[in-house]
Amino acid sequence: MGFFQKMFSNNPRKSSSISKMPVLTPQPLLPNIQENINYVKEALFHTDDLIHQTLSIPGYNSEFLFLYSMCDQKKIRDEILKPISDHRHLDQELKEILIDMRANKHDDLENVIDLLVKGNAVLFIEGFTECYVIEVRSSHERNVAEPSNEKTVEGSHAGFVESLTINLQLVRKHIENRNLVVRRYKLGKQTRAETVLIYLNNLANPELIDEINERLRSINADNITSTEFIEEYIEDTSLSPFPQLLHTERPDRVIANLLEGRAALLAEGSPTALLMPVTFFSFYQSPDDYYFRSFSGSFIRFIRIVSFVIAICLPAYYIAVVSFHYEVIPQDLLLPIKSSIEHIPYPPILEALFMELTIELLREAGIRLPGPVGQTIGIVGGLVIGDAVIKAGLVSNAMIIVVALTAISSFVVPSHEMSSSVRILRFPVMIGASLFGFFGIVYSLMMILIHLCSLHSFGTPYFAPVAPFRLKDWKDMIIRFPQWKLNQRSNDPAPQKLSQEGYSGEGHHGDDQAE
């Protein structure tokens, strides 16, 4: 018993050390340059990428420090050395030089060290009580290209990058609204990752924002490097198979969700935004649904919801049918199925597990291998194994079809996390089916449904608008009504204002489209 408790308890022995967080006292500047430099060097443990150089400003004894791994040499030349050399022969004031350098005054050495680590250069001048910090950070940003895991046919092809500033800009550019609020957090005791929460102040529910704020503040961890780390700290139920925060790398998706009254979390160094609160059905919505016309958008979305059912139930259904209820097979289908499984040595559940495992292996191998090799693996796996396995009599034809269809449907989901949840969820259903037939399927689906209904995401029901039921939100659930019909926002994030659209378009859409 003690073993289990130890395994699953959340580290109770160390929970008392929360208050021992070191608080650095401000350290005023020392009078001597050398002392200052030594202090900084001590603080950074004589790290070898710390460079100090002497500057020859006429009349002043000065040195500057920077971490060369973080700084752009060209910027150092332009921002620090050039202003000095420009003013060398003139009897200029030091002030002018500093203005040219765009330097900031600082007098707390601890603060200066933090800035140094971030890629600033620090200038010490003999006899001054302040030092000057000049921003010379080097940055290597990739283009705001479309994220490869969330491609769409139409619409914006921009994607988030690893820089928070650029990401925020991408969002702000589309919502030119003074209500867009950015709240900044520093998360992780070691990493001090810069994280921002963005929301629309006039839409997002204040209680939701308070809740997110509280959860973010309560994170007491050393290492937070990207938004995905934050997810596990702030989600409601970590032991649920369903993701409760929506990951996206698409600015348009973030913007659309912000406009529905949700909040987004972005972090420096991570191209992934977390959207909250979300419902189950948000994972089945893609920006494409809105870029297409209502008819085709609805069709695609409907197919996706069907794919969820197929991905979870189809292998289980097949197993149940061939091992418990073969009465339900139509007469003309009986002979082909019977002859394909007649000489298979294993029970259907093992067959299915074997094939599912093969598909998962192929998928994983395809991701890890470089592009062209990955495709080869796909072909080798799909064609060669698929064909050989039937010829060898290990797996039946019908099972290959079932597993292939299931695999395809699980990849239809626009969200990667949901896709992996679905892939995991079908195993309990399959086992249930192999033990109890249809009864087992119904039983496991019921468990899933109960779980879905009881799940919450930041205080809002996860399975809305099915449970709790709200017919108005069904307009944008399985099918998508035309934009001019979506008069109200969806109610699940509890926005401050429900109405989002007036009677636009009703006039010329005429009476035949009447309610």
Chain residues binding other proteins by CB under 8 A are: 1, 4, 8, 321-324, 326-327, 329, 331-332, 334-335, 337-339, 341-344, 347-348, 431, 434-437, 440
* In the complex, minimum distance from the CB of residue 236 to other proteins, in angstroms, rounded to a whole number: 19
Closer CB to other proteins, residue 334 or residue 408?
Answer: 334
* In the complex, minimum distance from the CB of residue 297 to other proteins, in angstroms, rounded to a whole number: 41
Closer CB to other proteins, residue 191 or residue 396?
Answer: 396
Q: Is 266 helix (H, G, I), strand (E, B) or coil?
A: strand
CB atoms inside a 10 Å sphere around CB 389: 18
Token representation of residue 156: 């914006």
Q: Which residues make Cβ contacts (< 8 Å) with residue 269, sequence separation at least 6?
A: 162, 164, 193, 225, 226
Token representation of residue 111: 């603060």
Closer CB to other proteins, residue 394 or residue 467?
Answer: 394
Bridge-based pairing of strands 120-125 and 180-187 is unpaired
Closer CB to other proteins, residue 358 or residue 434?
Answer: 434
* In the complex, minimum distance from the CB of residue 365 to other proteins, in angstroms, rounded to a whole number: 31
* In the complex, minimum distance from the CB of residue 316 to other proteins, in angstroms, rounded to a whole number: 13
* In the complex, minimum distance from the CB of residue 417 to other proteins, in angstroms, rounded to a whole number: 25
Distance CA(415)–CA(247), nearest Å, equals 7
* In the complex, minimum distance from the CB of residue 331 to other proteins, in angstroms, rounded to a whole number: 7
Amino acid identity of residue 204, one-letter, is: A
Distance CA(362)–CA(175), nearest Å, equals 42
Phi, psi of 192 (to 5 degrees): 50, 45
Closer CB to other proteins, residue 128 or residue 436?
Answer: 436
Phi, psi of 461 (to 5 degrees): -65, 135
Token representation of residue 181: 């609020």
Closer CB to other proteins, residue 444 or residue 460?
Answer: 444
* In the complex, minimum distance from the CB of residue 435 to other proteins, in angstroms, rounded to a whole number: 3
Token representation of residue 64: 């500057």
Distance CA(286)–CA(153), nearest Å, equals 11
Closer CB to other proteins, residue 197 or residue 321?
Answer: 321
CB-based contacts of 468-473 (< 8 A; 24+ apart in sequence): none
* In the complex, minimum distance from the CB of residue 323 to other proteins, in angstroms, rounded to a whole number: 5
Closer CB to other proteins, residue 167 or residue 434?
Answer: 434
Whether the link from the prior residue into 468 is cis, omega within 30° of 0, is yes
**What is the side-by-side strand order in the sheet with 62-67?**
50-55, 62-67, 120-125, 131-135, 104-106
